[in-house]
Amino acid sequence: MARMTMIEAIRDAMDVKMGMDEDVVVFGEDVGYFGGVFRCTQGLQKKYGKHRCFDAPINESAIVGAGIGMATYGKRPCIEIQFADYVLPAYDQIVSEAARIRHRSNGQFTAPIVIRMPTGGGIFGGQTHSQSPEAIFTHVSGLKTLIPSNPYDAKGMLIAAIEDDDPVIFLEPKRLYNGPFDGHHENAVTSWAKHEKGEVPEGHYTVPIGKAEVVEKGMDVTILAYGTMVYVAQAAAKENNIDAEIIDLRSLLPLDLDTIVNSVKKTGRCVVLHEATLTSGFGAELTSLVQQHCFNHLEAPVLRVAGWDTPYPHAQEWHYFPGPKRVGKALKRVVEAQ
């Protein structure tokens, strides 16, 4: 087992698959010679050549469109959108082409393409480098949407995504690239060096798509979270002495509904966390599913804690970010409800 940051684990996943399969190609803005803005592809061009790891123009629609074309011809592109905020020009290609090819061709063609992109805030990126757009992808039939929260999952999930025969949106919480973050921005930065999930096996392994992980067992309340919010949930529960069962969803679509339902039926209470804006966020879908499948077991209304319905503010980053204080208030409200 090696110690890795999430950046290194993501790079290692691409390295493993490029070494195993010549049809795997990596490209995007600055991913070749420069190694990507976060260095996730550093060294891949030198190792595999410019024909398998290369730079693309600043044109997200063209990057994704070219990847879809390559995928239908048998390649397995793993492309990078430099920030999730920049994906919107490519949205038509993703929704109208990649997600529909299997259905439209009656199964004659598929689009085995992975679209990687850094997501979320916590790095003072402002409104154009901090958004969390996962809900616009989970709304689309034909896509799979994944968000790892640690290096171990990041490598295993990315390998599984590259091997999948359908398009996968792979969102990488950029605040977690170099270490876990519990929302306490005033504290010193921590690294993955001593975290159990910083241990990453060498070589090939996969983390199943569509399977959540119960990262903390508890009886008071179920917390549904993903990405950075997994660590915020742990901090909030600990600081408020609440015996919470915390589920890291990992895969938003397909969703591991069985794990969610079994937990909520046990605890009778549920809080849903995400960094994206509240209105029409993925938390609304989770809340609806919990109400639908666990209604007779609920002891209190399901609560959501999310970003505010505003652009992500640079100067007020920590007022927007759903930190442990806001999450703690929601947990106490749900647990104390009669």
Query: What local confidence, expressed as pLDDT, does residue 86 receive?
Result: 96
Residues 6+ apart with CB under 8 A from 105: none
CB-hemisphere CA count at 13 Å for 284? 12
User: What is the pLDDT at residue 89?
Assistant: 97
On whether the CB atoms of residues 225 and 246 are closer than 8 A, the answer is yes
DSSP assignment, residue 143?
-
* CA dist., res. 177 & res. 103, Å (int): 35
pLDDT at 338 over 80: no
Is pTM beyond 0.95? Reply is: yes
**Which residues does 154 contact at the CB level (< 8 Å), separation at least 6?**
6, 9, 10, 13, 148, 172
Written as one string, the DSSP assignment of 21-53 is -TTEEEEETT-SSS--TT-TTTTHHHHH-TTTE
pLDDT confidence of 62, banded at 50, 70, 90?
very high
Q: How far is CA 143 from CA 100, 115, 246, 282, 287, in A?
A: 9, 11, 26, 15, 21
Q: By the 8 A CB rule, do 223 and 244 touch?
A: yes
E strands along the chain, which residues?
Answer: 2-3, 24-28, 53-55, 76-80, 114-119, 144-146, 168-173, 199-200, 213-216, 221-225, 244-248, 251-253, 270-277, 303-307
pLDDT digits (tens, 9 = 90+) for 67-124: 999 999 999 999 999 999 999 999 999 999 999 999 999 999 999 999 999 999 988 8
Mean pLDDT of the chain: 96
Comparing CA positions, the residue from 231, 219, 237, 211 lying closest to residue 331 is 237
Residue among 51, 129, 204, 297 flagged as catalytic: 129
Q: What is the pLDDT of residue 126?
A: 85
- Please state which of the ranges 36-40, 42-46, 172-176, 188-192 shows the lowest mean pLDDT: 188-192
Q: Which helix (H) or strand (E) holds 130?
A: none
The domains found in the chain, sorted by start residue, are: 2-200 (3.40.50.970), 213-336 (3.40.50.920)
Binning the chain into helix, strand and coil, the percentages to the nearest 5 are: 40, 20, 45
Give the number of other CB atoms < 10 A from CB of residue 2.
12
pLDDT tens digit string along 122-168? 888 888 899 999 999 999 999 999 999 999 999 999 999 999 999 99
297 is catalytic: no
**Structure token pair of residue 209:** 């798509």
Q: Is the predicted pLDDT of residue 278 greater than 80, yes or no?
A: yes
With H, G, I as helix, E, B as strand and everything else as coil, classify residue 222: strand
What's the burial of 255, exposed, middle or buried (CB within 10 Å: 0-12/13-18/19+)?
buried
Percent of the chain whose predicted confidence (pLDDT) is above 90: 95
